[in-house]
Structure 1
Amino acid sequence: MPRLHCVCVLLAVIILQASAQVKFADGNLKQARENHRPKEISLAAIEKLSSLSKTSNLNDVLKRLLVERVVGTAGHEEVRNFIVEYLRKLAWQVELDEFEDETPIFGKLKFSNIVATLNPNAERFLVLACHYDSKYFKNQVFIGATDSAVPCAMMLDLASSMQSLLNAKKSDNSLSLQLVFFDGEEAFQQWGPKDSIYGARHLAERWEAEDKLKRIDMLVLLDLLGTPDPNFYSYFQNTESWYAQLLSVEERLDRAGHMDRYTYSSVAPNQRTVRYFQPRSYYAYIEDDHIPFLRRNVPILHLIPTPFPDVWHKLSDDGTAVDISTVQNLIKVFRVFIAEYLHLDM
C-alpha cells in the first residue's frame, strides 16, 4: 500500500505540473494574441502588393467556382477538388475534415471542410474563412456568386498572388496563416440550429476537443462579397482595433491611388461616393459560420456587408452580379492587411 500511495502522489504531482505547464502555455498564447500589433509597411510595399493584381488569375479561378455547389452534387465535388489541388500546388498543407450529418430532404450527407495551413508547426494562426457550398433550391440552379464563390476566389487569389512573400514566412513558427473553406453553411430546408453551418459546427467542436482553438489569433470570415459598394462595420468590440486596421489600409491605398474605379477621397471626404469600411460599430446578430467559434471565445472579424446584397438568395446571384473592380480592391486591402498582420518582409 505505501508503494501504491507513493506512486499516486508522484502521479498527482506530475499531473499538476503538466496542468500548470499547459495553463502557462495557454496564457502565453493569449498574451501573444492580445499584445500582437500590425507592422505598417511602406508606400513602396503597398505599391508592390497592389501591382500583384496585374498578374492575377482571379477571373479564371472564379469561372471554376461559378457552378452549382450543393452538397452531394457533382459540382460540389469538382469545386472541392479544385480548391484542394490549387492550394497543394502552392505547397500549402491541405487537410479534409470529412464527416457525415443528417439533413432534411436528403437524409445523411457527407461534408468536407477544407483546411489549408501555410506552416502547420506555427504556434498561432490568423485564419481566413468562407464557405464553398451553395444553397439548394428545388428544381432551380442557384450559383451563389457572392454567396460564396467570390470569397473563395479571393482567398485563392491571396494565396497565389502572395506566394513568394508567404513562402518566406514558412520558417516562422510563432505565427502563420490558415485558410478554411467551410462546407454546408447553407440550410437545405429552413435555417435552424440543426439545419445550417454544418461544417463550422463540426470543425469548432473538433478543434475544441483537440485543444486547437487557443491557437487561433482571430477568425476573419468573408461572406456575401462581390457586388459594388459594400458597407462593412465593426461587429465585435474585441476585434475593433483590427477592423480599424482594415479601414486604415483602405485609406492608405486610396491616397496612393491604387483603388480601381474608386471615387472615395480621404482628402476631400465630402465628395466621396464610396467607402467600404465604415468608421463605426454596428450591432447585428448575424448567424453565419463564425457562430460556433464565437461561442467558444475565438476572436471574430466578420466581413459581411450591411445591408446584404440585393441578389442574396436570388437566382440573380450569378456571375453578372460580380463587379471585378470591387473584388480586386478588396483583395488589395486584404493583401496589405495580411502583410502587416504577419509582419511579412517586404
Structure 2
Amino acid sequence: MGVASTSPAPLPIPALPVSARRPPSVAPPLASHWPPPAPPPAGPAPAMRQVPAGPRRARAAGSSPAPAPGPLPVPVPGPSPSRGLLPRPPRPARPLLPLLALLAAAAVLFLSWPGGERGTAGPDPPKSLRDPGPPSERALRTLLAHLDPARLWGSLLRPLLHERLPGGPGSRAARQHIVSHLRSLGARWHLELDTFVAPTPRGPVAFSSVVATVAPVASRRLALGCHYDTKALPGGTFVGATDAAVPCALLLELAAALDGHLRERGEQDPALTLQLLFLDGEEAFEAWSDSDSLYGARHLAAKMAARGHPAGSEVTAMSLLVLLDLLGAPHPAIHSHFPESHRWFLRLATIEQRLRRLGLLHAAPPEPPFFRLEPPPGPVEDDQSLCPVPGVPVLHLIPTPFPRVWHTPGDTEANLHPPTVQDLAKVLLVFVAEFLQL
C-alpha cells in the first residue's frame, strides 16, 4: 500500500468500512414486501467460523452485482397424513420421545438465535448475552428519554460543520471535539489515536483516526463507525454535513444517551462491549482508487488484524460492524447490502416499524420507511472490502441513491432534516441497547 506508519503508542486500532463514491448499479432483489418478516431476537453471535476470503468488490462499472441477502431459513412442515386410511392401533408409550422433542426444540431455538448458523466454533454465549426479548413500550419510552435533540444538534453536530481536510486545522478541531466529548462522559472510554503519514496524489499527508472502546478486555464487540474527514472540492468549501458530520454526531449522541447504562456495566471484563471508530482519510484526493481512498480504514484494518485478542484478533472480536455514512437528508432509503448482516438489517426495520406504530417517531405513514426491503439501486463499495479477515458481518447504513447534495458545496446544515436525524438516532439507540442488552 505504500503507507508509512509512524504511530505513537498506544495507538493501534481496527478498520472500518466507509462508503465508496460511485453511483450504484443494479443489484438483485432482497425482498418484495413491507412490513418485514419478524427477525430473530437481537444479540451478539457466538464465535464465528472462518470462511475463505472472497474476491474484493469490483469498482468498475458493469461489474457483477453483489449477491442479495436471501430470506432467513424457516422450518417447513412435513406432508399431512394420508386420508382414508384406518388408524393404527395405539403404541405403547416411549419414554425417549419427550427427551427427543426437547432436544429438537432446543436445536430450533439455537438455529433461530442471531448467529446460530455460524456453527459452534467457540464457547456457548454467557447468560448475560441471552436475548431477553424486545423491550416493553414503557422501557422504550424510558430509553428514548435519554436522547437530547438540543445536545445532538447544538453541542455535537454544529462544532463539526466545517472543512475537515486530513492533516489540516479543521481535522484537528474535529478530532479534539470527538475526544473531548467522550472524555466528558462517565463510562470511562478507552481512547486511542491511529496516527500515520501516507503518500497521496498531493504529497505526504498525516492521518489520525480515533478509536474509542468502553472495555477493551471484553471478548466481543459491537463496533459502530464512520469517517470524519471531508473531500477537497475545487473552488469551494465543503463542510460535508451528511458526509459525514451527521454520522459522527449520531455516534457521539448514542454514547451520551447510553452513558448511564455503560457506566453501570463498568469495565469488569464484560462479555460484550461497545466500540466507536471515527476514521480519517476516507475521501479520495483525486480519483477514487485502491491507493487513493480509505487511508485510515486500510491502516486500521491492518493494525487491528495484527493485534492479539482472546477472540484471535481485534477484527475477529467484532460481532458486528455498523457503518454510517451520508445520513441527515430527508427521506433516506437505506437498503441491506450483505447477506451476513441481513438479519440485523431486518432488526432495524422492525424497530423502526414498532416506533412508528407507537407514535415515537416524527415520520409516519404514508411516508416510506427508512429501512427498505426492495432491491437497492446497486452495491456501494466500502471499507469492509478491505477487511483482512472474512466472517465479520458489516451492516452498511448508507442511503441509495445518495443525497442530491452529495459532494457539492450544498451539503450544509441548511439542507439537513432535523426530524430525520432525530428519528435515526432513536432507531439506532434502541438497536444498540438491544444488542448490548443494556
Distance in 2 separating the partners of 1:322 and 1:75: 21
Paired amino acid for 2:229: D
Distance in 2 separating the partners of 1:33 and 1:168: 26
- 2:178 is equivalent to residue 83 of structure 1: yes
Matching residue of 2:360: 258
In structure 2, which of residues 189, 207, 220 is the aligned counterpart of residue 124 of structure 1?
220
In structure 1, which of residues 141, 146, 154 is the aligned counterpart of residue 242 of structure 2?
146
Q: Secondary structure at the match of 2:211?
A: strand
In structure 2, which of residues 412, 416, 421 is the aligned counterpart of residue 318 of structure 1?
412
Distance in 2 separating the partners of 1:146 and 1:237: 26
Q: What displacement does 1:100 show? A: 1.1
Q: Deviations over 1:151-189 (max 9, x none)?
A: 000000010122101222333521010000010000011
Q: How is 1:295-314 mapped onto 2 (pairs within 5 angstroms)?
A: 296-314=390-408
Matching residue of 1:288: 382
Q: What displacement does 1:283 show? A: 7.3
Matching residue of 1:244: 346
Paired amino acid for 2:317: R
Q: How is 1:26-105 mapped onto 2 (pairs within 5 angstroms)?
A: 29-30=47-48, 34-35=115-116, 39-54=133-148, 56-60=150-154, 61-90=156-185, 91-105=188-202
Paired amino acid for 2:142: K
Distance in 2 separating the partners of 1:223 and 1:37: 31
Distance in 2 separating the partners of 1:197 and 1:147: 14
Matching residue of 1:19: none
Distance in 2 separating the partners of 1:332 and 1:120: 26
Q: What displacement does 1:285 show? A: 2.6
Distance in 2 separating the partners of 1:301 and 1:151: 14
Matching residue of 1:155: 251
Matching residue of 1:267: none
Contact 2:305 2:388 in 1 (8 A): no
CA RMSD of aligned residues (A): 2.0
Q: Which has the higher contact order (CA 8 A, sep 6+)?
A: 2
Distance in 2 separating the partners of 1:37 and 1:282: 33
Structure-2 change in CA distance of 1:54 and 1:100 (3 Å): closer
In structure 1, which of residues 168, 179, 183 is the aligned counterpart of residue 264 of structure 2?
168
Paired amino acid for 1:77: R
Distance in 2 separating the partners of 1:224 and 1:281: 19
Q: Secondary structure at the match of 2:48?
A: helix
Distance in 2 separating the partners of 1:55 and 1:183: 26
Segment drifting more, 248-257 vs 289-298: 289-298
Matching residue of 2:90: none
In structure 2, stretches of 5+ residues that fail to align are 1-44, 50-112, 117-128, 308-312
Q: How is 1:182-197 mapped onto 2 (pairs within 5 angstroms)?
A: 182-197=279-294
Structure in which a larger fraction of residues adopt helix: 1
Distance in 1 separating the partners of 2:408 and 2:149: 32
Matching residue of 1:113: 209
Matching residue of 2:27: none
In structure 1, stretches of 5+ residues that fail to align are 1-26, 265-271
Structure-2 change in CA distance of 1:64 and 1:257 (3 Å): same
Matching residue of 1:21: none
Distance in 1 separating the partners of 2:276 and 2:383: 14
Contact 2:316 2:389 in 1 (8 A): no
Q: Deviations over 1:107-141 (max 9, x none)?
A: 11111110000111101100000000000123421
In structure 2, which of residues 348, 367, 388 is the aligned counterpart of residue 273 of structure 1?
367
Structure-2 change in CA distance of 1:281 and 1:245 (3 Å): farther
Contact 2:149 2:422 in 1 (8 A): no
Segment drifting more, 325-334 vs 164-173: 164-173
Distance in 1 separating the partners of 2:269 and 2:229: 33
Q: What displacement does 1:293 show? A: 2.2
Segment drifting more, 294-303 vs 139-148: 294-303
Q: Secondary structure at the match of 2:207?
A: strand
Matching residue of 2:334: 232
In structure 2, which of residues 209, 229, 241 is the aligned counterpart of residue 133 of structure 1?
229
Matching residue of 2:75: none
Contact 1:49 1:332 in 2 (8 A): no
Q: Secondary structure at the match of 1:108?
A: strand
Contact 2:46 2:115 in 1 (8 A): no
- 2:302 is equivalent to residue 205 of structure 1: yes
Q: Secondary structure at the match of 2:291?
A: coil
- 2:247 is equivalent to residue 177 of structure 1: no
Q: What displacement does 1:37 show? A: 7.0
Distance in 2 separating the partners of 1:294 and 1:312: 29
Paired amino acid for 1:300: V
TM-score w.r.t. length of structure 2: 0.67
